[in-house]
Chain A
Amino acid sequence: MTEESPKPIVRVTQLGKQVTTGDSTLTILRDVSFTVNAGEAVAVVGASGSGKSTLLGLLAGLDTPTSGSVSISGEELFALDEDGRAALRARLVGFVFQSFNLLPAMTALENVMLPLELAGESGAAAAAKTLLERVGLGGRLTHYPKQLSGGEQQRVAIARAFATRPALLLADEPTGNLDAATGAAIIDLMFELNRERGTTLILVTHDLELSRRCGRALRLAAGELQL
C-alpha cells in the first residue's frame, strides 16, 4: 500500500467473515485491512466478541474468510488449499495459545520436538533442549504438562512456537490464563526471543499493559478496525 514500508510480511485486504446461524447472519469481521512489516510487534485489542480471535485464526489460515484476502510473505493464503496452508504454516508461522495446547502424552522436550520432527529436521532433540534451556526449563525436560505449572507450560509452548524459527509468531491471549507476575515474565520472554530471532509478532490481548509494549495496536470493535 505504502511504498515506504520496508518489508511487509502480512498484508490483509478487506477481510470479512460472516457466520450464518439458522436464518440470521452474524458479521464477525467487516472490511478489515492492514499491513504488518517484518520485525514489527503488533497488538490486536478489543472487547470480548470484537472478532480478535477470528482475525488471528484467519491470519494463520486456520479458518476461511467470507471475503477479502490475506497474504503472508507475498503468498496469497486463501489461494492455497488446506494442506497448502498447512505447509505454509510449517515454513513461516508459529503459535502461542491462551490454553497452551501442549500434548499431555508427551514430555516437555517431546512437545517442543514435535514441529521439528514434522518438518523432518535432524537434531530435533538437541534444538529443543537448547530452546527449553533458553526459556529456563532445562531441568524439566522429561516432565509432562500435568507436572508443570501454568507459567511453565506456557514457556514450553513458547519454546515450541520458536522451534522452527518462524518468520511470524501469532499469539492468542498468551497471558490470559496466568497471574500478573507470571504473565509479565512470559511477555518479557516473548519479546526477548522476538528480538533475538527477528520474528514478526502479532498478538491478541485485552491486556493494556501488554499492548503498550507493542510498537502499535490495532483496535477492533464489532468486527471493524478503529483507526
Chain B
Amino acid sequence: MRWIADAALALRLLARDWRAGELTLVAIAVVVAVASVTTVGFFADRVHQALSRQANQLLGADLVISGDRQLDSSFAAEAERRGLQVARMLRFPSMTTGNGQSVLAEVKVVTAGYPLRGELRIADAQHGVDRRATEIPKPGTVWVDERLITRLQLQVGDAIEIGQSRLPITQIITQEPDSAIGFINAGPRIMINDADIAATGLVQVGSRIRYRVLVAGAPAAITDYRGWVTLKLAPGQRVESIEDARPEIRSALERSEKFLSLAALLSVVLAAVAIALAARRFLQRHLDACAIMRCHGASQSRLVRLYLLQFIVLGAVASLAGCIAGFVAQHALALWLGSLVTVELPEPGWMPALHGFVTGLSLLLGFALPPVIALAKVPTLRVLRRDIGAPSGMGLLGYALGAVVIAGLIIWKAGDLRLGGMVFAGFSGAMLVAGLLAWGVIALVSRLGGAGVSWRFGIANLRRRPLASVLQVVALGIGVMALLTLTIIRSELLDLWQRSLPPDAPNRFIVNVQQDQIPALKKFFDGRGIAMPELHPMVRARLTGINDRQVAPADYTDDRARRLVDREFNLSWATQMQKDNRLIAGNWWSGGAGNKSARTDQFSLEDGIAKALGVGVGDKLTFDAAGSAFTAEITSLRKVDWDSFNVNFFVVSPPGLLEKYPASYVTSFYLPPGNVELLNALVKQFPNFLLIDVAQVLGQVQTMITQVSRAVQFVFLFTLLAGLVVLYAAIASTQDERLYQATIMRTLGASRAQLARANLAEFAVIGALAGLIAVAGANALGYVLAQRVINVGYEFSYVLWGFGILGTVLGVMLAGHLGTRHVLRIAPLRVLRMLS
C-alpha cells in the first residue's frame, strides 16, 4: 500500500530531477547498455528462428542417412518394406564446362520423389517466374541454378559438360531444400537424374561423394525405422532428423552468438562505470533534498522507497528505449551484413527485449541502490551544518553489489560459470592494468610541470581527480581499442598474410587424378612447356583406433578432433619429407624405398592434428581403408607451413604400407594469370579432375572474415559510445568543482581563453593516454593473433600508433571541450552566488 501511495510522489520527484538534467547521463548509459545487448539478442533470435523453421526444409526429408561410402542397399529396401517414402541422392563437387569456360560446381544426383519434404522451385528461364517442381530432371537433362548460368553466360537450352556427359539445361533452380543453411556455401549447383550418373564417369576412387538415403513418413514409423537403422550403421555413416539437423551450424551459431553477447557486455561494463559515476553525483546533489525531506518528517524507509521507485521507473523507461534502439540497430546490422545472410529472417521475438530489460534494470539498481540507501541515512542535522555529508562506508560495499551484478550478467550470457568467470576476470584484469598504467602516467606527467600556466592548471586537474581521470582514460581506451582491433588490425593482418605468400606460390590445385591418367597428364604439361608438378598419392581412410582403443567422435570434446574421427582422412606416402615441413619430434624414416630394413608400418603426423587427437610419437593408429584395417606407429611429428599452398598431408607413411589401397593423386601448380585456355583444355581432356582456384577460396574466406568482423565492429560501436558516456559522466561528476575553480581563477584575472586551454590540456592528456592504451592493446591483440592464429610475423603498425593516438586525442579534446565550455560562459558572480 505504502508503495502505491508513494508512487505518484516518486513520479513527480522523478519528473523534477529529470527536468533538472540530474538523470540524463544515467538514462543514456542504460540505453547504450541495453541497446548493445538487445541488438545482438534480436539478431541472433532471428537467425535461430530462421534455422528452426527451415529445419525439415534443410533436410528435405524426415530422416536422412548419410555416409561417404556407398550405403547398404538394405537401408532403402527396409524403409520401403515399412511403407515409408524413400529417395536417394548423391552429392559431390565437380568441374563443369559450358561456353568455353569451366567452373567448380556442386552436383546433386537425385531419384524420383526428391524432395520428400520442403520445396524445390524452378523457373523456365533466368529471372523467370518460379513454380514448385513436381518432378526431378528427366534423364538426359540438367537443372542448374542462377549462379551457374550467370557464371558461364549460358541460357536455358544450352548444353553443359559434366564429366564425360553433355546435357542440355532445361530449368533454372530458384530454391531447393537441403542446400543452403542461409550462409555462404560452396559453388553453383547442378541437379541431374540418377539415371545419368554412370555415363558421366565421375564416380571413381577418391571422388568426394556424399551418399544419402532420404526417408519420410508417419512419425512413429520414422522413429521405429530410426531405431532399426541406427544399429546397422557402419563407421562414417550417420542418421539425421529434424531435431539434430546441422549440429555443426547450430554449434557454430551458438558460439558466435555467445561471443557477440560477451562483446556486447563490454559496453555494459563501461556503461556500469558511467552509471556508478552518475549515481555518485546524484547522491552528492541530493543530500540536501534528503535532509530537507527528513526535516519534513519523511522516514528513512520512505526515502529509500521514494528513490527506489524513481530508479525503477527510470530504469524501466531507459531499458525500453534501449530495447527500441536495439531493435532498430539489429535491422541496420542485418542490412549491413547483407549477403552473409541469404535466408529471409523472420521478425525477432520478445525474449531478447526481456533480457535487455533485466540487464538494464539490474545494472541500474546494482549501481544506484547503495547510494540511495546511503542517501536515506543522511543526518538531518545537515540542514543546519552543511559540512555533514552522507555516512561513509557505503562506497566499497556499493561497488561490490555492482560488481556482483556485472559478474552475474556475464555468467548468464556466457552460459557457464567457468567461461563467465574467465571473461569477468579478463575484463577486470584489462581494466586494472589499463587503470594502473593511466595512474602511473598521470603521476609522472604531473611531476613534469613545464610550459605555461594553462598546461600546469590542466595537469593539476588530472592529479586532483585521479579516480575520475583514470576511469575516463580506461573507458575511452577500451572503447577505442575494441574498434581499432577490428578495423585496422584486421586489415593489417590480412595484408601481412597475403604479403607473406611467395608470388609464385601454387594458385591451382588438381584433385582426383587417377593412376592411369598420370602419363596423359605428363604429356599435357610437356606439350605446353610446363614442368610436370609433383603428384602426391592419396588414400582415403577412417581412423578407427588409437593404440588398443576403439575411437568414436563422441570420445572427443574438441570439434576438430570430432570431425577428424567422423570423416575420412587423406593419407599419403612419401620417401622424403616435403621441403616446407619441419620435424619437431621423432625421426623421419631413412634409406628410402631401397632400404629393406626400414619399417613400412610408420606414420608421420602433422603437429596440430596430433595435438587435437591427443597422440604423440610411440602411439599406434589404426585406419580403415575400403573395409580393411591397418595399424602403424607414429614415429615423427611435423610442423607444416600451410601458407605455402603446396599439397600437404596430416598423415604420411613410408612407401609400402598404403599402395595396396585405392588411391588417387593430387597436385598443385602455379598458373600465370590469364592462362584460361590451359584450364579449359585440362578440364576438357580430364573431365573428372577438380580444379580448385586458390584465389577464389581466399576471396571467399576474406569475405566471410570481413562480414563476421563487421558484426563485431557494429557491436563495438556501442562500446565506444559507452566510453564517451563515461567521459561525460566523469565531466559531470566534477562539474561543481570545475565551476568553482574556474570562477576563482577568473576572479583572480585568468582569461576565458586560458581556462579553455587548461581544459584542453587536461583532455589532451586523457586522450593521449586512452589512445596509447587502445593502440598498445590493439597491437598486443594483433601480435597474439598473428603469432598464434595465422602464423605470420607481426609488424607493429606505425600508422596505427600515429592515427590511433592522434585521433583519440582530437576526439577526446572535442568531446571534452563540448562538455565543459558552458562552465566558461557563466558569469563568475552568478557562480559565486550559486555556491554561497
Chain A residues proximal to chain B, CB less than 8 Å? 53, 56-57, 60-63, 82-83, 86-91, 95, 97, 99, 101, 103-106, 110, 114-115, 117-120, 146, 164, 172, 177
Contacting residues, chain A, for B384 (C-beta < 8 A): 53, 56-57, 62, 97, 172
Known: A53-B385, A97-B384, A119-B296; 12 extra A-B contacts, CB below 8 A, are A57-B384, A62-B379, A82-B300, A83-B299, A83-B301, A87-B297, A89-B296, A90-B298, A97-B383, A101-B291, A105-B22, A118-B297
The segment out of B13-21, B37-45, B156-164 that lies at the interface is B13-21
Interface string of B350-393 (1 = CB under 8 A from A): 00000000000000000000000000000111011110000000
Show 16 A/B contacts (Cβ-Cβ < 8 Å), sorted by A: A60-B295, A62-B381, A82-B299, A82-B300, A89-B295, A90-B297, A97-B384, A101-B288, A101-B291, A103-B288, A105-B19, A105-B289, A118-B293, A120-B5, A146-B833, A172-B384
Query: B834 interface residue, CB < 8 Å from A?
Result: yes
A83/B300 in contact, CB under 8 A:
yes
A86/B17 in contact, CB under 8 A:
no
Query: B9 interface residue, CB < 8 Å from A?
Result: yes
What separation, in Å, do the CA atoms of A82 and B295 have in the docked complex? Answer: 11
B381/A86 in contact, CB under 8 A:
no
Contacting residues, chain B, for A104 (C-beta < 8 A): 20, 285
A62/B834 in contact, CB under 8 A:
no
Asked if A99 meets B292 with Cβ closer than 8 Å, knowing A86-B298, A104-B20, the reply is no
B294/A86 in contact, CB under 8 A:
yes
Query: B255 interface residue, CB < 8 Å from A?
Result: no
* A88 to chain B: closest residue by CB: B297
Contacting residues, chain B, for A164 (C-beta < 8 A): 296
Task: Kindly provide the distance from the CB of A223 to the nearest chain B CB, expressed in whole angstroms.
Answer: 16
Asked if A146 meets B834 with Cβ closer than 8 Å, knowing A95-B383, A118-B298, A120-B5, the reply is yes
Contacts of B259-299 to chain A: CB distance below 8 A = 285, 288-289, 291-299
Residue count of chain B within 8 Å CB distance of chain A: 34
What separation, in Å, do the CA atoms of A158 and B307 have in the docked complex? Answer: 26
A101/B297 in contact, CB under 8 A:
no
Residues of B contacting A: mostly: helix
Task: Kindly provide the distance from the CB of A127 to the nearest chain B CB, expressed in whole angstroms.
Answer: 14
B9/A118 in contact, CB under 8 A:
yes
B296/A115 in contact, CB under 8 A:
yes
* A94 to chain B: closest residue by CB: B296
Contacts of B15-31 to chain A: CB distance below 8 A = 16-17, 19-20, 22
Interface-centre pick from B17, B293, B298 (highest chain A CB count, 10 A)? B298
What separation, in Å, do the CA atoms of A57 and B299 have in the docked complex? Answer: 17
Number of A-B residue pairs having CB atoms within 8 Å of each other in the complex: 84
B293/A105 in contact, CB under 8 A:
no
* A97 to chain B: closest residue by CB: B383
Contacting residues, chain A, for B599 (C-beta < 8 A): none
Contacting residues, chain B, for A114 (C-beta < 8 A): 292-293, 296
What separation, in Å, do the CA atoms of A118 and B302 have in the docked complex? Answer: 9
A103/B381 in contact, CB under 8 A:
no
Task: Kindly provide the distance from the CB of A78 to the nearest chain B CB, expressed in whole angstroms.
Answer: 14
Contacting residues, chain B, for A118 (C-beta < 8 A): 9, 293, 296-298, 302
B297/A99 in contact, CB under 8 A:
no
Contacting residues, chain A, for B386 (C-beta < 8 A): 99
Contacting residues, chain B, for A115 (C-beta < 8 A): 296-297
Contacting residues, chain B, for A82 (C-beta < 8 A): 299-300, 380
Asked if A62 meets B300 with Cβ closer than 8 Å, knowing A104-B20, A114-B293, A120-B5, the reply is no
Asked if A101 meets B299 with Cβ closer than 8 Å, knowing A63-B381, A106-B16, A117-B12, the reply is no
Partner among B19, B383, B836 whose Cβ is within 8 Å of the Cβ of A101: B383
Partner among B9, B289, B299, B833 whose Cβ is within 8 Å of the Cβ of A103: B289
Contacting residues, chain B, for A63 (C-beta < 8 A): 379, 381
What separation, in Å, do the CA atoms of A160 and B72 have in the docked complex? Answer: 93
Contacts of B292-343 to chain A: CB distance below 8 A = 292-302
Contacting residues, chain A, for B12 (C-beta < 8 A): 117
Q: Kindly list the 3 A-B residue pairs having the minimum CB-CB distance in the complex, ordered from nearest.
A: A90-B297, A105-B20, A83-B299
Partner among A53, A106, A117 whose Cβ is within 8 Å of the Cβ of B9: A117
What separation, in Å, do the CA atoms of A11 and B381 have in the docked complex? Answer: 21
Contacting residues, chain B, for A61 (C-beta < 8 A): 380
What separation, in Å, do the CA atoms of A105 and B593 have in the docked complex? Answer: 93
Contacting residues, chain A, for B294 (C-beta < 8 A): 86
* A157 to chain B: closest residue by CB: B292
* B377 to chain A: closest residue by CB: A82
Contacting residues, chain A, for B381 (C-beta < 8 A): 57, 62-63
Contacting residues, chain A, for B379 (C-beta < 8 A): 62-63
Asked if A119 meets B292 with Cβ closer than 8 Å, knowing A53-B384, A86-B380, A105-B19, the reply is no
Contacting residues, chain B, for A57 (C-beta < 8 A): 381, 384-385
Interface-centre pick from A88, A103, A104, A120 (highest chain B CB count, 10 A)? A103
What separation, in Å, do the CA atoms of A98 and B462 have in the docked complex? Answer: 35
Partner among B17, B295, B830 whose Cβ is within 8 Å of the Cβ of A105: B17
Task: Kindly provide the distance from the CB of A178 to the nearest chain B CB, expressed in whole angstroms.
Answer: 12
